[in-house]
Structure 1
Amino acid sequence: MRKLPRSEAEYEALADYYAENPPVPAGPVTISLDRLKTGRPAKGRAGAGKSAAISIRFPDELREQLDRQAETERAPVAEVVRRAVIEYLDGHPV
């Protein structure tokens, strides 16, 4: 397995490959809504909905697509990202 970090050239090569070969779902995608607990827990509800925050960088074009998708779905960008990650991981079990 390749160790991170990747070079800028490697990231650009991956982005070019993705642009030429976008992922295609193998069939209908179903997402269990219980995996999509969104937002912060209500104040005073200790332990409810704990989740780790992470920071992700996107190329400008991908970020613009993500923003448009979120606007179309009337969902926060974080929600669209969560759905995409769940869909990917469900289709690529380890």
Structure 2
Amino acid sequence: MYRSDFRVRASVAAGLGALALGFALPFAAMSASSAEPRIDPNPPTTHSKPYPYYSSCAQVRAEGKAPLYAGQPGYNRQLDPEGKGVACGY
């Protein structure tokens, strides 16, 4: 046999090994994930405040939250008649 034959055989063997490994890994992951999921009997509680809703700019100013910018909690298009992204501006 020539040296080039050994190189070809080695590269073919490496390719087949990689192919077999690529084929077997998904099945190994499937068998590991088939275990039952762990469920925490005491899930963490979240104490988040409800999203504020303001019906008028007077209410926003009374709570000291003016001006409200687009994306902030409590902003809505009804409080921004100009549509500039600033509600209840001074």
Say yes or no: TM over 0.5: no
| Higher Cα radius of gyration | 2
- Normalised by the shorter chain, which TM-score bucket? under 0.3
| TM-score, normalised by the number of residues in structure 1 | 0.21
| TM-score, normalised by the number of residues in structure 2 | 0.21
Structure ranking higher in strand proportion: 2
Flag the structure with more relative contact order, 1 or 2, with Cα contacts below 8 A and sequence separation at least 6: 1
